[in-house]
Amino acid sequence: MAADPELQRILESGTSDPVLELDVARIPWVWAGAPGGETLDPQALGAARGPVRLLDGIVAREVRYTLEKRGRMPAQVERLRNVRAPLRLAAGQTAIVPLSLAGPGPG
């Protein structure tokens, strides 16, 4: 992600002040599957068949932490880098991404 190095630089420099921070948007993260595929059951995430794609870097750190804390981290994770457009998932592929990158959902 292009923002990762810049965000890391700001955090490490100590120049960020929590008083100055504000939310400009909230984008939900979703478990996405290929169009026409099976309906995804969030309770089954930890036992997902095949690798689950997940963004790499700082942007997905909280998602990974939350999944691990809840015991839902998939056994196989494929880290995605430089994703700039909605994913095109093939049959049987799944990903945990911001809604803006999810593309069309299952049938």
| 7 within domain boundaries | no
> How large a percentage of the chain has pLDDT more than 90?
0
CB atoms closer than 10 angstroms to residue 9: 10
Q: Is the pTM value of this prediction over 0.95? A: no
Residue 86 lies in a domain: yes
Cα→Cα distances 54→7, 21, 75, 82, Å: 19, 26, 12, 12
How many domains are there within the chain? 1
Asked whether residue 30 is assigned to any structural domain, the reply reads yes
Could you tell me the residue range of the domain that residue 79 belongs to? Answer: 24-101
Most confident of 32-36, 71-75, 82-86: 82-86
Give CA–CA dist 38/24, Å, rounded.
34
Query: pLDDT per residue over 37-57, tens digit each?
Result: 766 776 667 666 678 888 888
| Cα 82 from Cα 25, distance rounded (Å) | 21
Run of H or E residues at 9: helix 3-13
Q: Give the H/E segment covering residue 62.
A: helix 61-69
| Mean of per-residue pLDDT scores for the chain | 78
pLDDT of res. 3: 62
Residue 13 is assigned to a structural domain of this protein? no
Tell me what pLDDT residue 87 has: 87
Give the tokens for residue 40. Answer: 């995804």
Distance, CA of 56 to CA of 12 (rounded, Å): 19
Confidence at 94, pLDDT banded by 50, 70, 90: confident
In a domain, 65, yes or no: yes
